[in-house]
Amino acid sequence: MLDKLENLEKRSLEIEAKLSDPQVISNNSLFRELAKEASEISVIVKEYRKYKKALADIDSAKSVLNETKDAELKELAQADLEDLEKQKSTCEEQLKYLLVPKDPRDSRNAVVEIRAGTGGDEAGLFAGDLFRMYQYYAEKHRWKLEILSSNAQGIGGFREVIFSLSGTDVYGNIKYEGGVHRVQRVPTTETSGRIHTSAATVAVLPEAEEIDVQIDPNDLRIDVYRSSGPGGQSVNTTDSAVRITHIPSGLVVTCQDEKSQHKNRAKALKVLRARLYEKALQEEQEKLTKERRSMVSTGDRSAKIRTYNFPQSRVTDHRISLTVYRLEDVLHGELEEFIAQLKLADRAEKLQLVE
């Protein structure tokens, strides 16, 4: 860790010198790139310098203890030494925290897929509840939400709904929502008052750019057909719905929400690109982490991550054993407490890898 910190400090000094170079200043793209790098490492370098000062002050305090015979001076030096040792420990922990590598995908937009699981119509209604929960959460963060594909079920429910989220650090926050969400409540159709358990799955994919995933048009089979369900005058009158099959992987994406075949095709390609990107990332991750699987950020999509209990107004996240009794607030997008704790748990796991 100390070697890495030394190299970062040297790099900081190099960048500082380059940013004063007239040739670099005149090169806008290079100047921006170096300024960004300087900003990213400056926090680490500042903390490292605090750490080195603490070490130097500890040596000085120890010298005083070893060399002086004055009892009062020794007492003061001992008190200083204890404070400095605490400061040193704090700096060490902070440096480990700062050296945890950031996921470069965290700043990306995301594609979220919600599907009704076990529980019939009640599962579809719960899928609708989750969708609205993320709508509220997106509004709080001023993210843009765009529905890419949906299959409505009953009043307010979905068999499936796929949407994109665009904004600042979207994937870095919403990625922790991937997994099985379980609900326990009395359905409106239940006359005996018996509590039912239903589930819905949530998949969160980092939005892929064209440079991430190259799709050969020859690998695609594109079918068009007439839309079904609500959607305006064009429903069942024009071939606006699109189904894209990626032949090498077998992935199939459909979209019929727009009246325009062109728009449906663009949305379907966005979903397909995100799925292919995630598939490639998962394959790479499986190679690197066969011996270690994180339950926080890379947990199995089939794993139960959270339970929403209506009778007790209770929400429990099983990954971090966090329970709150504010179910209505959570369903209105108050997810900050869960996501903050999940980020801490994720970082704690990664800290173990920093030497």
Asked if residue 25 has pLDDT above 50, the reply is yes
Higher pLDDT, 165 or 343: 165
pLDDT in tens, 200-214: 999 998 888 766 777
Of 41, 66, 99, the position where a domain reaches its end is: 99
Asked if residue 92 has pLDDT above 50, the reply is yes
- Of 46-55, 149-158, 171-180, 246-255, which range is least confident? 149-158
CATH number of the domain at 26, please: 1.20.58
Of 43, 77, 99, the position where a domain reaches its end is: 99
CATH number of the domain at 280, please: 3.30.160.20
Which of 137-146, 226-235, 278-287, 291-300: highest mean pLDDT?
137-146
For range 237-264, the mean pLDDT: 85
| 294 is a domain residue | no
Looking at the whole model, is its pTM more than 0.85?
no
Closest by Cα among 104, 110, 162 to 274: 110
Position 346 scores a pLDDT of 86
Higher pLDDT, 291 or 52: 52
Do 27 and 83 share a domain, yes or no? yes
Do 199 and 330 share a domain, yes or no? yes
Largest CA distance in the chain: 98
Do 175 and 313 share a domain, yes or no? yes
CATH number of the domain at 205, please: 3.30.70.1660
- Of 94-103, 128-137, 177-186, 234-243, which range is least confident? 234-243
Asked if residue 235 has pLDDT above 70, the reply is no
Position 210 scores a pLDDT of 64
Do 123 and 201 share a domain, yes or no? yes
Asked if residue 81 has pLDDT above 60, the reply is yes
| 293 is a domain residue | no
Q: Identify the domain containing residue 40 by its residue range.
A: 2-99
Residue 89 CB contacts under 8 Å (≥ 6 apart), including other chains: none
Closest by Cα among 163, 204, 190 to 305: 204
- What separation in angstroms does the CA of 348 have from each of 243, 257, 338, 343? 42, 42, 15, 9
Closest by Cα among 316, 156, 161, 321 to 254: 161
- Of 80-89, 284-293, 315-324, which range is least confident? 284-293
Do 242 and 138 share a domain, yes or no? no
Position 295 scores a pLDDT of 46
Do 274 and 309 share a domain, yes or no? no
| 76 is a domain residue | yes
Of 99, 120, 148, the position where a domain reaches its end is: 99
Do 182 and 316 share a domain, yes or no? yes
For range 144-155, the mean pLDDT: 87
Position 211 scores a pLDDT of 64
If DSSP states are collapsed to H, E and C, what string results for the chain?
CHHHHHHHHHHHHHHHHHCCCHHHHHCHHHHHHHHHHHHHHHHHHHHHHHHHHHHHHHHHHHHHHHHCCCHHHHHHHHHHHHHHHHHHHHHHHHHHHHHCCCCHHHHCCEEEEEEECCCCHHHHHHHHHHHHHHHHHHHHCCCEEEEEEEEEECCCEEEEEEEEEECCCHHHHHHHHCEEEEEEECCCCCCCCCCEEEEEEEEEEECCCCCCCCCCHHHEEEEEECCCCCCCCCCCCCCCEEEEEECCCCEEEEECCCCCHHHHHHHHHHHHHHHHHHHHHHHHHHHHCCCCCCCCCCCCCCCEEEEEECCCCEEEECCCCEEECCHHHHHCCCCHHHHHHHHHHHHHHHHCCCC
For range 282-302, the mean pLDDT: 52
Do 241 and 119 share a domain, yes or no? no
For range 321-342, the mean pLDDT: 95
Higher pLDDT, 227 or 273: 273
Proportion of the chain above pLDDT 90, given as a percent: 41
Do 225 and 200 share a domain, yes or no? no
- β-strand partners of 223: 243
For range 28-33, the mean pLDDT: 88
Position 145 scores a pLDDT of 95
For range 19-31, the mean pLDDT: 90
| 290 is a domain residue | no
- Burial of residue 231 (number of CB atoms within 10 Å: 0-12, 13-18, 19+): middle
CA–CA dist 178, 303 (Å, integer) = 9
Do 90 and 61 share a domain, yes or no? yes
Do 305 and 251 share a domain, yes or no? no
Do 267 and 149 share a domain, yes or no? no
* Tally of domains in the chain: 3
| 317 is a domain residue | yes
Proportion of the chain above pLDDT 70, given as a percent: 89
Position 10 scores a pLDDT of 93
